[in-house]
Structure 1
Amino acid sequence: MNTTRTNATKQRTRQQIVVLGAGYAGLLAALRLAPHAEVILVDPSDRFTERVRLHELAAGRPDVTHPLQQILRGTGVRHLAARATALDPVARQVTTDDGRILPYDRLVYALGSRTGHLPGSPLGPEGGAADERAYSAESAEALRKRLVDGPGSLAVVGGGLTGVEMAAELAEAYPDWSVRLLSAGPLAAGCSGRGRDHIHTVLAARGVRVEEGRRVADAGEVDADAVVWTASMVPNTALAAAAGLALDPEGSGRIAVDASLRSLTHPEVYAAGDAAASHAPAPGRLRMACATALPTGSHAASSILAEARGHTPKPLSFGFTIQCVSLGRHDGLIQFVRPDDSPRDRMLTGRTAARAKEQVVRSTVRFLRLAARRPSVVSLIPGL
């Protein structure tokens, strides 16, 4: 028997999978698929960013990234440091900004999301600030430099959990700054009444002035030396839309997918993380979050593997358990929720909650490192 020819045939028959995006969803999908296929991970950065720590970076944490080379070492995943500029689902190929054309049998679209851009908003379409006073989580490092140059007045726009964490963290780290938190509706609307009361109490103790019912269209409306925009998130799906992939009919701008996370119009394309309009029986449409990126990234990989083995992919099964909110380094809120993400009465606060939130954040990187070492084990972990 010609062993060389047999090995070459096996090599040619391995699926070619391209994963766009090395965030939580894309990286986990690539790691799980690597033992079974030829995987190319396309992302311009050579580092994985813990996006859930960007408010900490703005507050002075030295670094919130990890070298991709260390995570991917020995996995077989090939990282291409480039940006995808075109997607052709008919020819099944991706074009990158360095001129490469990458063919694929299956594609995982996991390009995530960014701080929203609305007409007249302070942020340009690539997340850059049109108003020099305006910053976002993506520009956390520049924000930190500005705050170090202070003191002055700072306004955080957006009363969701991202805005709450940003305001609490910055008020604690830069006590000489006068901090306001502007919210169009009730602060932390998804939390219970007791949970919102705790957030208000901690923010007040940090000197943060909360202004609910304050709708802001752009930074020019805010009288402050610096403005942090956390009011909305939008998916990075322009590439998908230009390629003709159907987007969410409900208008979220995310890629329309079935229960196994396949594109409704191009089933050889799977979407995961914030770019996908994923849904599950209990919560319905999943919100954009690290808590949903990891499970959907893992499920996209499971669906591709099932399909390759001639099986019907299983539908996504997911339910929420908690919402984690850091309120500076020494306080927090762990809000227990039902599977549909509605709040329960039970919650943790104070240092206990702060420690629990830190462990949750650390666990995301632990999961990724586990997937690099033992990818077959990940699917056995509840929720992944």
Structure 2
Amino acid sequence: MAPTTQERIVVLGAGYTGLAAAKLAARWTGAEVTLVNRYDRFVERVRLHQLATGQPLRDRPLTGLLEGTGVRLVVDRVTRIDAGARTVRTEGGHDLAYDHLIYALGSQADLDSVPGAAEHAFTVADLDQALELAERLGESRVVAVAGGGLTGIEAAAELAEARPELKVRLLTGGTLGSGLSERGRRYLARALRRLGIDVRENARVAEVRADGLVLDGGEHVAADTVVWTAGFTVPGIAREAGFAVDANGRLVVDATMRSVSHPEVLGIGDAAALHRPDGQELRMACATGMPTAQRAVRSLADRLAGREPKPLRFRYLNQCISLGRRDGLIQFVRADDSPVEAVLTGRLAAHYKETIVRSAFLFQRHPGIPVG
């Protein structure tokens, strides 16, 4: 039996998981659904490195994406959750009561782990920061990208290709492409050399300054602009609400994405610690967020209808890396995300990655399509 209209579902965050979850909740439960988001636009976060180089992105108003769904949109910043009263408080003074909460506030660049990063570095994990970085590049000659993960690699490659007048440096605390196969690492190194990117491995940043970076040994790496991609963190709102969180502040959930401490709360996306049946924690990515959003809302709908929900089943397929607009690297992986030797490279890989990115947005329009 479908729930009555008295059932209230509040979804926090309209990123790749939250927007889809809100639409699915309205469709699959028949409940009153409210979606809270900081922006009135859907932000294609996986394209923010393009925006930072000055490339225009399509405008994606949330009102258009929610049209005809019955989901109520509140454009505001979440400031706190009162778990006892089951209410969400926003910066603009909204008090939103819920019977069920879907926590999808995502992640943000970790600017607090190294002195000076918050004051002097830019990120490509936030719309406002990406726009500020695009403006800053106009007065820069040397850009240092700190962090050699997939975000850092994509940002450095995009900067070097789109802004060839810039000298781009990429610094990583370990070995570049450590999660790739040998073939993948070799191709990545060649691609970055072709783009003229100066790669520094085993370079641990101790401080960010207005004139660049200082490494652990005291060496100064000069740069007019620093782009920080060395790690991500999550909002502290779940911890402050008293929800069970892990050491990184991510909501601890069970195999149906339900909070282990507050069963009326579901956690999805980067802000939740999601695991495969073998215990492996899922990495932060659209590829993990979208199928888990589907599974979480289906679990909620099952419970509301008196059915036992099925646990999450998930396997990895590949890692997709853009190397500018005309090159890419697709690393095929085992179910546990460990790499096999097979890779796809070049223009075909770039098209593959672009198809994946477009599919991620298509999922926001049609969140019921199979994605995992």
Q: TM-score range by the shorter chain?
A: over 0.9
1:357 and 2:353 are equivalent in the alignment: yes
Residue of structure 2 aligned with 1:307, choices 285, 303, 306: 303
The answer for the alignment partner of 2:41 in structure 1 is: 47
> C-alpha distance in 2, partners of 1:92/1:51?
30
- Matched ranges for 1:203-352 at <5 A: 203-220=192-209, 221=214, 222-236=221-235, 238-248=236-246, 251-281=247-277, 284-352=280-348
Q: CA deviation at 1:370?
A: 1.4
Q: CA deviation at 1:84?
A: 1.6
Superposed CA deviations along residues 282-322 of structure 1, whole A, max 9, x for unmatched, are 57100111111111221211111011011122111111101
Q: CA deviation at 1:262?
A: 0.8
The answer for the alignment partner of 1:56 in structure 2 is: 50
Q: CA deviation at 1:217?
A: 2.7
TM-score, structure 2 normalization: 0.92
Runs (4+) off by over 2 Å:
10-14, 117-124
> C-alpha distance in 1, partners of 2:169/2:279?
32
Kindly indicate whether the alpha-carbon contact (under 8 Å) linking 2:4 and 2:31 is maintained by their aligned counterparts in 1.
Answer: no
Superposed CA deviations along residues 65-111 of structure 1, whole A, max 9, x for unmatched, are 51101100001111001122221122111112222211111000000
- Matched ranges for 1:69-148 at <5 A: 69-124=63-118, 130-131=119-120, 134-137=121-124, 138=126, 139-148=129-138
Residue of structure 1 aligned with 2:187, choices 177, 198, 218: 198
Secondary structure in 1 matching 2:226: strand
Secondary structure in 1 matching 2:290: helix
Secondary structure in 2 matching 1:228: strand
Kindly indicate whether the alpha-carbon contact (under 8 Å) linking 1:57 and 1:64 is maintained by their aligned counterparts in 2.
Answer: no
Of residues 136-145 and 262-271 in structure 1, the stretch that sits farther from structure 2 once superposed is: 136-145
Secondary structure in 1 matching 2:134: helix
> C-alpha distance in 2, partners of 1:217/1:304?
45
Q: CA deviation at 1:324?
A: 0.3
Superposed CA deviations along residues 184-217 of structure 1, whole A, max 9, x for unmatched, are 0011211111101111101001100110010003
Kindly indicate whether the alpha-carbon contact (under 8 Å) linking 1:282 and 1:339 is maintained by their aligned counterparts in 2.
Answer: no
The answer for the alignment partner of 1:30 in structure 2 is: 22
RMSD over aligned CA atoms reads: 1.5
TM-score, structure 1 normalization: 0.89
Residue of structure 1 aligned with 2:139, choices 126, 130, 149: 149
Superposed CA deviations along residues 247-303 of structure 1, whole A, max 9, x for unmatched, are 11xx22211111111111101011100000011125710011111111122121111
Kindly indicate whether the alpha-carbon contact (under 8 Å) linking 2:3 and 2:304 is maintained by their aligned counterparts in 1.
Answer: no
Letter in 2 for 1:224: A
Letter in 1 for 2:179: G
Cα distance, 1:65–1:240 mapped onto 2, change above 3 Å: farther
> C-alpha distance in 1, partners of 2:286/2:279?
16
Of residues 19-28 and 79-88 in structure 1, the stretch that sits farther from structure 2 once superposed is: 79-88
> C-alpha distance in 1, partners of 2:123/2:93?
31
Kindly indicate whether the alpha-carbon contact (under 8 Å) linking 2:114 and 2:205 is maintained by their aligned counterparts in 1.
Answer: no
Kindly indicate whether the alpha-carbon contact (under 8 Å) linking 1:167 and 1:208 is maintained by their aligned counterparts in 2.
Answer: yes
Q: CA deviation at 1:63?
A: 2.0
The answer for the alignment partner of 1:6 in structure 2 is: none
> C-alpha distance in 2, partners of 1:306/1:14?
17
Task: Give percent identity, aligned residues only.
Answer: 50
> C-alpha distance in 1, partners of 2:302/2:52?
42
Cα distance, 1:283–1:186 mapped onto 2, change above 3 Å: farther
- Matched ranges for 1:168-187 at <5 A: 168-187=157-176
Letter in 2 for 1:37: A
Kindly indicate whether the alpha-carbon contact (under 8 Å) linking 1:154 and 1:179 is maintained by their aligned counterparts in 2.
Answer: yes
The count of aligned residue pairs is 356
> C-alpha distance in 2, partners of 1:81/1:253?
24
Structure 1: runs of 5 or more not aligned: 1-9, 125-129, 372-376
Kindly indicate whether the alpha-carbon contact (under 8 Å) linking 2:33 and 2:70 is maintained by their aligned counterparts in 1.
Answer: yes
Of residues 347-356 and 312-321 in structure 1, the stretch that sits farther from structure 2 once superposed is: 312-321
Q: CA deviation at 1:60?
A: 2.0
Secondary structure in 1 matching 2:205: coil
Q: CA deviation at 1:323?
A: 0.5
Structure 2: runs of 5 or more not aligned: 215-220
